[in-house]
A and B are shown apart, each in its own frame.
Chain A
C-alpha cells in the first residue's frame, strides 16, 4: 500500500493535521499556534501601554487591566514563547541528530494537543465571565480572594497545557539521548540540540512543582482545601515557593534554546565554528543547574530573613559567570570570521548588547538590599523584558528567518526582514530602556493608572510609542511570512553557509527525513562534507533500505479533548446552581481514559516504506517538476 500519494481535499488536510505524528508537521502547528497566542498577548500589551500613555487615563477599567496584565504574562510565557521554541525544537532536533522522528511520535502529538486545548480553554475565560486577574504569578492570597472563575481558568488551563509541555520535554530527552546518528557523539551535537536537551531536563524538574502548586490551588478553590488560606492554617508563602521553584527555571527553559539558536546563526554567518564549543556546553549545563538554586531571589522582600537573602543573592549573581562565558564565546566566534549581515545575523547582532543589558540588571536585582528598592517596580519590568524580548523574541524572529526554508522550502524577503528588525529593535529599546528609570523614580509595576506630576508622564509616553513600533514590527514580520507563500523554492542549503545536518537534507524534506542515516564525522558535519567537495551532501552510514515509520493517530487529540471537556466540569463544579457540571467532568474524563485504554489494547506497529517507494517519492519531490 502506498501511504503518500493520496490526493487531498480541505477536510482531508485538516484530518491529516489532527492525526499527524510527523515532527515536521507538528513543528508547523506549534509555529502557527504560538504565533496566534503571541499576537493575542502582544495586543494585550498594546492595550495596557495605551492605557498608561498618559496619567489618569480611562482607556480600560482597573479590573480589565488586571486581566490584561495576567493574560499577557501567562500567554507570553506559557502559550507563545514555549510553543514557538517547541516549534524549532520539533523541526530541528531530529534533523540535527539525523533521526527519522522523535522517540515517541504519538506523545509528540499528544503534547501539542494538550498544550493547544489548554491554551484555548484559558482564553475562553475572556468570553465566559472574566479572565484571571491575579498576575501571571497568581499569588495565593489574591488568587483565593479573586471572585468569579478567572483563577479557575488559570489553574485548569495551565494544568492541561503544562502536562503537554512536560510530555514534550520528556520526549526530547529520550530522542536526543537515544536517537543520534552514527558518529554523533554528545560532544559533536549542535549547540541547539544541546540546549534543547538541557532545557527539556529543566522542564522535567521544574514543571512538577508547578503541577503540585496548581493542584493545591485547584483543591483550595474547588473543595476548600485550605492549603493557602491562612485563616484556616494555610500559608500563602508556600505558593510563592512552589511557583518560583518552577518559575525561575522556566526563564532558563526559554532562554537556553534561544542561546542555542544564536549559537547556530552566529557560526553560520561568520563561516566559523563556534568558539569554545566545549565551554559553551559546560556553561549551558551550569546555567541549567544554577537556575534551580536561585528561586528565592523573587522573594527578597517577602521577609525570609537576611541569611536566606544573602545566600540567594550570591547564588543568583553566580549565574552571570557562565552567561558571560557564552557572550564572549559568541563574540570570539565573530572575531576572525567572515560576517555576512543577513536578517538572522542582524537579529543575532542586536541580541548580544540587548541581552547583556538585560543580564547586568539581573545582577543588580540579585543584590538583595538594592532589590528592596527595585522589586515590583518598573525596573523589574524593564529587566525581564530585556531578557525575554532581547533574548528570546529576537532569537525567535531571527531563527524564523534563518529556518524558514527548512520549515516551508521558501525564503523570507531580506529587505523587508531588515526593515522589520530595525522597527522592532528601536521600538523595543524605546519601550523598555526608559522603564528602568520609571522604576527607580518610584513607579510600581502592575498599576493600571498613575497620578500626574510624579515625574513619570514623559517616560510613560515614550514607552507607549516604542510599544506601538514593536507592534508595527510584528505586523511587518507576519506580512513577510505571508508573502513567502508566493516565493520560489529555496532548495538545499539556501544560505550557502549551513554547517549542521539539517541543511544537508534536500528540500522539500520528505516525511522520513534522511533517505539513509548519515554518518557524522565531526562537529558541523555538513560543513566537513562541503569542504571535502561531497556533492551528495552527506556520507551515509547504511545502504538504501526499507524505512519503518509510525502510523497517524487521532487518539492524542481525543485524549486532549476529553481533558478539555472535563475542565469545564471542574470549573463549574463549585457553583451550586450548576449541578450538571459533575456529569461534564465524568464524561470528559471517561473520554480521556477510554481513549487511553484503546491506545493500550490496540497494537499499532506502524508501517514499512520500501526501497522502491522511497525512490518514487524522491523522483516526485526532486525530479522534473519537483522541488515545490
Chain B
C-alpha cells in the first residue's frame, strides 16, 4: 500500500489542500489567511501536519475499504471459517516505526517554533540612550473589555489596539478579574491572560489594516469568562510605522484633557458628572481604569467591541448596557440599573454626541 503511493501524490495533495484551506474565511479574522510572521509559520505547521495526517487517514481508509470489499461474507461464502491468524511481528513493527517517523517529521519544526515564539529577550533591549528599542504593549483583560497600555510611549487606550507594521510587537498579558485569552486569529496564535502572572509573547503585523473590510483585524477572547464572553471582542488597527508615530504624537497631545463639569456643552457636563469617575478622556495617564479609556472613541470601529459604530447604538448602550453585555460592570452589583443612575433622554443624546466626538485622528 505504502509503496503504491508515490511522492507526487503527497505534493499534489498538499497543493490541493493549500488552495482549499486558504479559500476559507475572511482576511481580517481567519487563521487561514495570516498577515504576519507568527501566523504564517503557524499556517505552515498547519499545512505540514494536515498533509501528513490526511495521508494517514487516506491510507487507513484505503486499506480498510479494500479489506471490507474483499472479505464480505456474501463474497467469501456463508460457511467459510477463515484461518485464525495470530498476528505478524513484521507488520506490527512496520506500523509502529512508520508513525514514529511521521511524528519525528512533525516534532522537529514544532520544537523549533515553540522556542522561537517564546523568545521575548528583545523586549528589554535598549539603545545607547537607554530607551527600549522594541515596542511593548501591556494588555489587561477585564470583564468584558481590553486595556492597551504603551509603557515606553506613556499612553493608554482601550478596545482598539493600534500597532505599527513590519516589526515585532511584544505583549505583556494579564487579567484583572478572571482568566481571559488574547487572540488575533489572522495575525497569530493566542496566549492566556492569567490573574496571577504576566505572560509574554510577540506578534508581527505585515499588513496595514486600512484595506480590510472594516479597516481592522478582529481580536477575540478565547477563554470562557462569563455570560458576555462571546462579546468580548477587540479590534486591531495596524498602521505604517510613520502613521503609528503620528498616532502616538496625537495621543500624547491629549495629556491633561478632561471633561468640564461647568461646560456649556450638555454632553461634556453630563460626562463629567456621570462618567468621568470610571472613564478617562486623556490618552496619557494611569492604567487600571474601571472602564475603558475613551480618548479615541470617535476613531473606533465598534461600540462596546461588537455593535455597529453609530450614535444610536451608543445611546442604546448608555441607556441599558446590561441588555447588550450581560454581566458587565457598568451595572449595579444586583445587575438591574446602570451605576451612573438614570439619565434623561436629552442627556443621553448629548452624551453620545460628546463621546463620539472624542478623537485623535480627526
* A451 with B41: CB separation less than 8 A: no
| Cβ < 8 Å to A, chain B residues 1-59 | 21, 24-26, 29-32, 39, 41-42, 45-46, 49-50, 53-54, 56-57
* A352 with B25: CB separation less than 8 A: no
Question: B198: nearest residue on chain A (CB-CB)?
Answer: A303
Question: A331: nearest residue on chain B (CB-CB)?
Answer: B64
Question: B183: nearest residue on chain A (CB-CB)?
Answer: A444
Cα of A448 to Cα of B228 in the assembled complex, Å? 8
Contact with A along B183-206 (1 / 0, CB 8 A): 101101111101111011000000
Using Cβ atoms and an 8 Å threshold, which residues of chain B touch A370?
42, 45-46, 49, 110, 189
* B30 with A442: CB separation less than 8 A: yes
* B84 with A272: CB separation less than 8 A: yes
Using Cβ atoms and an 8 Å threshold, which residues of chain B touch A230?
195-196
Using Cβ atoms and an 8 Å threshold, which residues of chain A touch B118?
305-306, 309
Decide yes or no whether A235 CB sits under 8 A from chain B: yes
Binds A, one of B94-102, B234-242, B249-257: B94-102
* A376 with B80: CB separation less than 8 A: no
* B175 with A141: CB separation less than 8 A: yes
Give chain B nearest CB distance to A141 CB in angstroms. Answer: 4
Cα of A303 to Cα of B175 in the assembled complex, Å? 13
Q: A63-B326, A317-B103, A337-B71 in contact; A372/B56 too (CB < 8 A)? A: no
Using Cβ atoms and an 8 Å threshold, which residues of chain A touch B57?
353, 356-357, 360
Question: B220: nearest residue on chain A (CB-CB)?
Answer: A444
* A334 with B64: CB separation less than 8 A: yes
Q: A145-B178, A303-B197, A373-B31 in contact; A349/B68 too (CB < 8 A)? A: yes
Binds A, one of B85-93, B124-132, B264-272, B344-352: B85-93
Cα of A72 to Cα of B80 in the assembled complex, Å? 47
Cα of A309 to Cα of B199 in the assembled complex, Å? 14
Decide yes or no whether A175 CB sits under 8 A from chain B: no
Cα of A615 to Cα of B161 in the assembled complex, Å? 83
* A339 with B71: CB separation less than 8 A: yes
Decide yes or no whether B300 CB sits under 8 A from chain A: no
* Interface range, A side: 35 or more
Cα of A453 to Cα of B27 in the assembled complex, Å? 12
Cα of A451 to Cα of B200 in the assembled complex, Å? 29
Give chain B nearest CB distance to A503 CB in angstroms. Answer: 17
Q: Which of A341, A352, A356, A372 has the most CB of B within 10 A?
A: A372
Using Cβ atoms and an 8 Å threshold, which residues of chain A touch B99?
320-321, 324
Decide yes or no whether A241 CB sits under 8 A from chain B: no
Decide yes or no whether B229 CB sits under 8 A from chain A: yes
Contact of A375 among B88, B95, B190 (CB under 8 A): B190
| Cβ < 8 Å to A, chain B residues 324-346 | 326-327
A-B Cβ contacts below 8 A, count: 296
Cα of A448 to Cα of B144 in the assembled complex, Å? 14
* B191 with A454: CB separation less than 8 A: no
Question: B186: nearest residue on chain A (CB-CB)?
Answer: A442
Contact of B67 among A276, A306, A335, A449 (CB under 8 A): A335
* A440 with B199: CB separation less than 8 A: no
Contact with A along B288-308 (1 / 0, CB 8 A): 000000000000000000100
Cα of A111 to Cα of B294 in the assembled complex, Å? 57
Binds B, one of A188-196, A247-255, A361-369, A397-405: A361-369
Using Cβ atoms and an 8 Å threshold, which residues of chain B touch A275?
85, 87-88
Cα of A43 to Cα of B158 in the assembled complex, Å? 40
Question: A447: nearest residue on chain B (CB-CB)?
Answer: B230
Cα of A135 to Cα of B29 in the assembled complex, Å? 25
* A440 with B73: CB separation less than 8 A: no
* B189 with A63: CB separation less than 8 A: no
Contact of B103 among A135, A320, A440 (CB under 8 A): A320
| Cβ < 8 Å to B, chain A residues 299-344 | 301-303, 305-306, 309-310, 313-314, 317-318, 320-321, 324-325, 327-329, 331-332, 334-341
Decide yes or no whether B225 CB sits under 8 A from chain A: yes
Question: B72: nearest residue on chain A (CB-CB)?
Answer: A339
Give the secondary structure class of A's interface.
helix
* B82 with A237: CB separation less than 8 A: no
Question: B94: nearest residue on chain A (CB-CB)?
Answer: A328
Give chain A nearest CB distance to B222 CB in angstroms. Answer: 4
Q: A142-B178, A353-B64 in contact; A369/B73 too (CB < 8 A)? A: no
Contact of B196 among A145, A237, A277, A353 (CB under 8 A): A237
Q: Which of B67, B107, B179, B218 has the most CB of A within 10 A?
A: B67
Contact of A331 among B32, B63, B117 (CB under 8 A): B63
Using Cβ atoms and an 8 Å threshold, which residues of chain B touch A453?
26
Cα of A102 to Cα of B85 in the assembled complex, Å? 33
Using Cβ atoms and an 8 Å threshold, which residues of chain B touch A263?
none
Cα of A141 to Cα of B190 in the assembled complex, Å? 19
Using Cβ atoms and an 8 Å threshold, which residues of chain B touch A134?
224
| Cβ < 8 Å to B, chain A residues 423-475 | 437, 440-442, 444-451, 453-455
* A142 with B226: CB separation less than 8 A: yes
* A328 with B41: CB separation less than 8 A: no
Give chain A nearest CB distance to B290 CB in angstroms. Answer: 16
Using Cβ atoms and an 8 Å threshold, which residues of chain B touch A321?
96, 99-100, 103
Please report the total number of B residues contacting A with Cβ < 8 Å: 93
Give chain A nearest CB distance to B135 CB in angstroms. Answer: 20
Cα of A276 to Cα of B94 in the assembled complex, Å? 13
Question: A369: nearest residue on chain B (CB-CB)?
Answer: B113
Question: A349: nearest residue on chain B (CB-CB)?
Answer: B68
| Cβ < 8 Å to B, chain A residues 248-297 | 270-273, 275-279
* B82 with A270: CB separation less than 8 A: yes
Give chain A nearest CB distance to B58 CB in angstroms. Answer: 10
Q: A442-B25, A442-B29 in contact; A368/B114 too (CB < 8 A)? A: yes
Cα of A442 to Cα of B220 in the assembled complex, Å? 8
Cα of A63 to Cα of B24 in the assembled complex, Å? 31
* B218 with A442: CB separation less than 8 A: yes
Cα of A134 to Cα of B57 in the assembled complex, Å? 35
Cα of A511 to Cα of B85 in the assembled complex, Å? 36
Using Cβ atoms and an 8 Å threshold, which residues of chain B touch A356?
56-57, 60-61
Cα of A445 to Cα of B225 in the assembled complex, Å? 12
Cα of A352 to Cα of B31 in the assembled complex, Å? 29
* B56 with A364: CB separation less than 8 A: no
Decide yes or no whether B81 CB sits under 8 A from chain A: yes
Cα of A41 to Cα of B303 in the assembled complex, Å? 36
Cα of A540 to Cα of B55 in the assembled complex, Å? 50
Q: A328-B91, A356-B57 in contact; A440/B31 too (CB < 8 A)? A: yes
Q: A442-B186, A449-B230, A454-B29 in contact; A302/B192 too (CB < 8 A)? A: yes
Q: Which of B116, B118, B233 has the most CB of A within 10 A?
A: B118
Give chain A nearest CB distance to B96 CB in angstroms. Answer: 6
* A301 with B181: CB separation less than 8 A: yes
* B114 with A336: CB separation less than 8 A: no
Give chain B nearest CB distance to A6 CB in angstroms. Answer: 46
Give chain B nearest CB distance to A176 CB in angstroms. Answer: 23
Decide yes or no whether B111 CB sits under 8 A from chain A: yes
Using Cβ atoms and an 8 Å threshold, which residues of chain A touch B179?
139, 141-142, 236
Q: A62-B228, A310-B115, A364-B50 in contact; A440/B191 too (CB < 8 A)? A: no
Decide yes or no whether A371 CB sits under 8 A from chain B: yes
* B114 with A66: CB separation less than 8 A: no
Decide yes or no whether B76 CB sits under 8 A from chain A: yes
Decide yes or no whether B83 CB sits under 8 A from chain A: yes
Decide yes or no whether B223 CB sits under 8 A from chain A: yes
Decide yes or no whether B177 CB sits under 8 A from chain A: yes
Contact of B29 among A273, A367, A437, A441 (CB under 8 A): A441
- Besides A270-B82, A303-B200, 16 more A-B contacts (Cβ < 8 Å) are A141-B177, A145-B226, A301-B181, A309-B114, A313-B111, A324-B96, A329-B92, A331-B63, A335-B63, A335-B67, A352-B64, A364-B49, A370-B189, A372-B42, A442-B26, A455-B26
The 5 closest A-B pairs by CB, nearest first: A372-B189, A441-B25, A447-B230, A442-B185, A360-B53
23 residue pairs from A and B, CB less than 8 Å apart = A61-B326, A142-B226, A235-B196, A271-B73, A273-B85, A301-B189, A301-B192, A302-B192, A303-B199, A310-B110, A313-B111, A328-B95, A349-B68, A364-B53, A370-B45, A372-B188, A376-B222, A440-B25, A441-B25, A441-B31, A444-B183, A445-B222, A450-B230
